[in-house]
């Protein structure tokens, strides 16, 4: 009787462990028993599963093509299609690994351009908001530039150029996010360096007008009037109709400072652009207020990768 009870208890525990194991196994790769089949059938089954969005099964069939027919043209194609299936299933790390494997084995393949583009897209799809670490954005810029450099006349390069504009705008947005944070914390030197980086490194992005305004504001806060006028003049020359330009003029008015020159009569905002430069021709040193801080000072000023979602609210709470 006791033996039967123990046997039954053991059976229940074994069944429970099996259920837990199945539930905690996560996303396991689909595996098939080895059954030798013609390569055309295996590849066709993989494509059908891919079309039906059964990505795990498609990947397994593509791997079977590689395993059973490793030296065929089908195997080379299956390797790249496996990477695409991973990408479609949002498993970007596995997709990058599969692409790197394909490029290492077949660098001169006719589909290499697509492989480089697919790798770039794996990074591009993981770009995160400007308040977080931008590793994926930097990786996307590097990979997209690789596509443009290697295959400049392809459709992949044309699309890569468009996405490069978006990624650069995103990186500029990150610099602006940190610069604004520093400005509100009265760390004007660190803020100026961030805004100048936007102006000099991301000139074609949508963040340049605001960067010039914030640069003007930072210089005025430091009492460096000539540099503030220079930044406002560049803003007026390049973006005369923008609200950022009007805001820059108001900054001077609020401090009872003549926007340009020393004439007793304030000039209209349009006059600020006289003798100003185009953004494309700016010498970074021409807008430098003081020497940049030393590396040790910069290390102390650099924010962590995990900036608070609302740094200004957090700073007020600390005060």
Q: For residues 102 and 66, what is the distance between their CA atoms, to the nearest angstrom?
A: 12
| Helices 188-201/155-184 angle, 10° precision | 160
Q: For residues 228 and 219, what is the distance between their CA atoms, to the nearest angstrom?
A: 5
Instruction: Pick 189 or 302 by higher pLDDT.
Output: 189
Q: For residues 190 and 315, what is the distance between their CA atoms, to the nearest angstrom?
A: 17
What is the homologous superfamily of the domain 30-168 according to CATH?
Tetratricopeptide repeat domain (1.25.40.10)
- Report whether pLDDT(128) > 80: yes
pLDDT one-digit tens code per residue, 142-199: 999 999 999 999 999 999 999 999 999 999 999 999 999 999 999 999 999 999 999 9
How buried is 149 (Cβ within 10 angstroms: 0-12 exposed, 13-18 middle, 19+ buried)? exposed
Query: Is this prediction's pTM over 0.75?
Result: no
CA nearest 85: which of 105, 106, 65?
65
Name the residue ranges covered by the structural domains of the chain: 30-168, 186-312
């Amino acid at each position: 009787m006791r033996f039967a009870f123990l046997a039954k208890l053991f059976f229940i525990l074994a069944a429970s462990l099996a259920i837990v194991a199945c539930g905690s196994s996560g996303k396991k790769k689909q595996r098939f028993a080895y059954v030798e089949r013609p390569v055309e059938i295996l590849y066709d089954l993989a494509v059908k599963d891919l079309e039906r969005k059964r990505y795990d099964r498609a990947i397994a069939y593509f791997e079977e093509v590689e395993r059973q027919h490793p030296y065929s043209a089908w195997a080379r194609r299956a390797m790249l299609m496996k990477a695409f299936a991973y990408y479609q299933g949002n498993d970007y790390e596995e997709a990058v690994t599969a692409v790197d494997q394909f490029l290492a084995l077949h660098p001169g393949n006719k589909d290499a351009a697509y492989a480089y583009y697919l790798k770039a897209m794996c990074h591009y799809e993981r770009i995160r908001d400007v308040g977080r670490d931008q590793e994926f954005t930097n990786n996307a810029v590097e990979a997209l530039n690789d596509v443009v450099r290697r295959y400049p006349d392809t459709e992949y390069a044309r699309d890569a150029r468009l996405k490069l504009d978006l990624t650069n705008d995103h990186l500029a947005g990150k610099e602006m996010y940190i610069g604004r944070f520093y400005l509100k914390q009265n760390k004007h030197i660190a803020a100026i360096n961030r805004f100048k980086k936007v102006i000099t490194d991301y000139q074609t992005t949508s963040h340049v007008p605001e960067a010039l305004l914030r640069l003007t504001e930072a210089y005025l806060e430091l009492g460096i009037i000539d540099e503030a006028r220079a930044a406002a003049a560049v803003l007026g020359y390049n973006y005369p109709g923008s609200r950022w330009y009007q805001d820059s003029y108001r900054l001077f008015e609020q401090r009872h400072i003549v926007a340009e020159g020393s004439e007793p009569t304030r000039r209209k905002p349009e006059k600020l652009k006289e003798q100003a430069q185009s953004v494309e021709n700016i010498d970074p040193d021409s807008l430098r207020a003081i020497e940049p801080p030393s590396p040790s000072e910069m290390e102390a000023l650099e924010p962590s990768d995990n900036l608070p979602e609302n740094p200004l609210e957090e700073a007020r709470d600390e005060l």
